[in-house]
Chain A
Amino acid sequence: MIEPINITTEELKDQRIIYIRFRGSYVEFRRKSKKLFNELFDFATANNLINPNKTKVLTIYDDNPFITDEKNLRTSVAMTIPTDAKVIESGKICESSISGRFAVGHFEMSGSQYGEAWQFMYQEWLFKDKAKPRDAVPFEMYITEPPKNLKDKSLTDIYIPIV
């Protein structure tokens, strides 16, 4: 099983994000995610929200596929935005913020290893009493751009909410 380079903890305080929330199965989401990320980028570019050194892109897993029906299953593509940015929500784009404490698993992995990485964070780490879970949504943050194929690796952080 894939293991993280390391696991750290991070406290986020009102980290502003813009997002597009998708409703449907993960298969459908994967098929449409590129289009959704492009829509998000277009909005961010048009509104001067991108700071090349700071902006991070995320996938937020709002629901769990074993609990929520596919038609209601929510997955959000999101992007961090500066504290002082002015945003007028439009189209499918909404604004929100992320706060609280997270365990962050820092992974170098290929597109085919994401499932294993999530499994590691819950089964091999959280459930082994390394921390107490907090009721909030987990997400992936892309540190380097994920490659277009499933083989090449990139850096991705997995954020698990903890107390």
Chain B
Amino acid sequence: MNDKTKNISSKQVYTRLINKTEDYIENNLKEVISLKDLARNAHLSEFHFHRIFKKYSSETVNEFVTRFKMERAAIFLCVNPKINITTISMEYGYNDSSSFSRTFKKHFGISPINYRKQQELSRKSNWFMK
């Protein structure tokens, strides 16, 4: 195997690892997800999982999980205008609405309530298919 083939093959291993990790988070949005959980899901040691992840990703594992959850929460907030923030917090593995709101604001620069208002006001006709 030459270096180029090795690189493609190791990139594909990483892609599959990320896909399986995303699928795991997708199925466990309500849980608090740790590196240990993700490594176990990928049948790797924490050390090995972390090493592969770090080699290719510009995010840390925690940043990755948090971004995934915040983006999903943002979609859910927008398609579900009646749901309250406490319920949303629980749905994404946060014990209380204030820690959820803080994390949300850190990611999007705006509180969940204001985010929803802003999206409702500016919802474009092609919101779903940019």
Within 8 A of A (CB), among B49-77: 67, 71-72, 74-76
- Give the docked Cα–Cα distance between A135 and B23 (Å): 14
Q: Judging by beta carbons under 8 Å apart, are A119 and B128 in contact? A: yes
Q: Judging by beta carbons under 8 Å apart, are B76 and A135 in contact? A: yes
Q: Judging by beta carbons under 8 Å apart, are A89 and B16 in contact? A: yes
B19 contacts which chain A residues (CB < 8 A)? 19, 21, 94
* A50 at the B interface (CB under 8 A): no
Q: Judging by beta carbons under 8 Å apart, are A118 and B128 in contact? A: yes
* B79 at the A interface (CB under 8 A): yes
* A65 at the B interface (CB under 8 A): yes
**Interchain Cβ contacts within 8 Å, total number:** 68
B46 contacts which chain A residues (CB < 8 A)? none
* A96 at the B interface (CB under 8 A): yes
Tally of chain B residues near chain A (CB < 8 A): 28
- Give the docked Cα–Cα distance between A6 and B98 (Å): 42
- Give the docked Cα–Cα distance between A136 and B81 (Å): 16
A136 contacts which chain B residues (CB < 8 A)? 26
At the interface, is chain B mostly helix, strand, loop or mixed? helix
Output the residue of B80, B91, B129 with the most chain A CB within 10 A: B129
Given the known interface contacts A91-B12, A119-B128, the answer about A135 and B91 at a Cβ–Cβ threshold of 8 Å is yes
* B6 at the A interface (CB under 8 A): no
B22 contacts which chain A residues (CB < 8 A)? 21, 62, 74
A133 contacts which chain B residues (CB < 8 A)? 76, 79-80
Q: Judging by beta carbons under 8 Å apart, are B79 and A122 in contact? A: yes
A161 to chain B, nearest CB (A): 9
Given the known interface contacts A26-B130, A133-B80, A135-B29, the answer about A67 and B16 at a Cβ–Cβ threshold of 8 Å is no
A115 contacts which chain B residues (CB < 8 A)? 126, 128-129
- Give the docked Cα–Cα distance between A91 and B22 (Å): 17
- Pull 17 A–B residue pairs with CB atoms less than 8 Å apart, ordered by A: A19-B19, A21-B15, A26-B129, A64-B78, A64-B127, A66-B124, A67-B78, A89-B16, A91-B12, A92-B15, A92-B16, A94-B20, A115-B128, A122-B128, A127-B81, A133-B80, A135-B72
* Given A72-B67, A94-B19; 5 other pairs, CB 8 A cutoff: A19-B19, A21-B22, A67-B71, A67-B75, A119-B127
Which positions in A face B, CB cutoff 8 Å? 19, 21, 26, 61-68, 72, 74, 89-92, 94, 96, 114-115, 118-119, 122-123, 126-127, 132-133, 135-137
CB-based closest 5 A-B pairs: A65-B130, A115-B129, A118-B128, A94-B19, A133-B79
